[in-house]
Amino acid sequence: MTIIDVTQGDITKVRADVIVNAANSSLLGGGGVDGAIHRAGGPEILAECRVLRASTLPDGLDVGAAVATTAGNLPAQWVIHTVGPRYSRHEDRSAQLRSCYQRSLLLARSLGASSIAFPLISSGAYGWPVDDAVAQQVGAIKAADVSVDIVTLVAFSRQIAQLTRRLVE
């Protein structure tokens, strides 16, 4: 049975086998969670991302897909990079958002991980309404066909942590 834990804080400081990066499609760093993970993880993460871009992902990572690299200096073994969709009032992209969580869990399991830490994907610069982003996150994790022993949902603010805890219960 999977334990879903909710914590407030900095995902780059969470101890887990896998830390999930809300990456941009280039895989070469950026702002928000992506930039924080690249800065805290060090140059090893960027080096592996460049290899991926030069080989299997020349056009970058697709929305909803997931790929793993080393975690560098982070308190984890791996970083799973996943690209969340931009929010649209005119097109339902929630399946793509749920895919980020479900494919990350599948990849984590294939790596042999027993714990994974997720940020709230697509809620920052990608404009997803926080209430719905949390609902999509919790729903996707609970409905996933495969999981790991411990899933930690890392909320950046107290308000998001409280909302996430309510939905997890």
Would residue 145 show up in a list of annotated catalytic residues for this protein?
no
| Stated length of the chain | 169
Contact 147, 4 (CB under 8 A): no
In whole angstroms, what is the distance from residue 138 CA to residue 37 CA? 22
Which of 5, 10, 17, 34 is an active site residue? 34
E strand or H helix that includes residue 45: helix 43-54
Buried b / exposed e along 21-59 (16+ C-beta atoms within 10 A): bbbbeebebbebbbebbbebbeeebbebbeebbeeebee
What's the Cα-to-Cα distance from 161 to each of 15, 22, 123, 134, rounded to whole Å? 18, 18, 14, 9
As annotated, the active-site residues are: 34
